[in-house]
Amino acid sequence: MEVIKSLEKDRSNLIKAIQMVQEEYGYISDKSIENISEYFGIPTVEVEGVLSFYAQFKRTAPGEYKIAVCDGTACHIKGSSRVKNWLVEDLGIDDGETTEDGLFSMETVACLGCCSLAPVVSINGKVYGKLDREKLLKIIDDYRNRGEN
């Protein structure tokens, strides 16, 4: 596993290694767990133990389109929870999940830095603001149709 080869094969680097793998691939797959355990010479169950302890580590692959729902103060006041609910209804996924077709994943994040546009989501880093239900679902549909082309 190329990405962690710079690390000394010492157990104290385990968390660092998992972080590096997640940065590289966006999540920790079963194969990555095996590779990490092999690299450090420790049982896979130990790597899984660390993974389950820290909420920051993701076990599912992110979607092709990564939706970040801003829940900073301005967006919260302007209805970020409604925005999230519209996405939950439309996509059938909740925070931290990925749709079965692998197209969309969603996570709630802190301020995206464009509060005057609240409520805001970003999709693969592109910001969409002043959202209402119709506008949001149209944006999602556009991405969905892109995925089918």
Query: Is 75 a binder of ligand FES (CB under 6 A)?
Result: yes
Q: In angstroms, what is the minimal distance from the CB of 69 to ligand FES?
A: 9
Using CB under 6 A, which residues numbered 115 to 144 contact ligand FES?
A: 115, 118, 120
Q: How far apart are CA 66 and CA 91, in angstroms?
A: 12
Could you tell me which of 25, 135, 26, 28 has the C-alpha nearest to residue 14? 28
Should residue 72 be labelled a site residue for ligand FES when binding is judged by CB under 6 A? yes
Residue (35 or 108) nearer to ligand FES, CB: 108
Listed ranges 48-56, 91-99, 113-121, 132-140: which one lies at the site for ligand FES (CB under 6 A): 113-121
85 binds ligand FES (CB under 6 A): no
- The half-sphere exposure of 132 on its side-chain side, counting CA atoms within 13 A, is 1
Q: Which residue is nearest to ligand FES (CB)?
A: 72
Max CA pair span of the chain? 53
Strand partners, 109: 70
109 binding ligand FES? (CB under 6 A): no
Distance CA 79, CA 29 (A): 34
Residue of 45, 25, 26, 47 lying closest to 36 (CA atoms): 47
Chain centroid to Cα 117, Å, comes to 22
State in angstroms the smallest separation of the CB of 78 from ligand FES. Answer: 8
Residue with smaller CB distance to ligand FES, 50 or 109: 109
Q: Binder to ligand FES among 70, 123, 131, 140 (CB under 6 A)?
A: 70
DSSP state of 10: -
Return residues touching ligand FES (CB under 6 A): 70, 72-75, 111-115, 118, 120
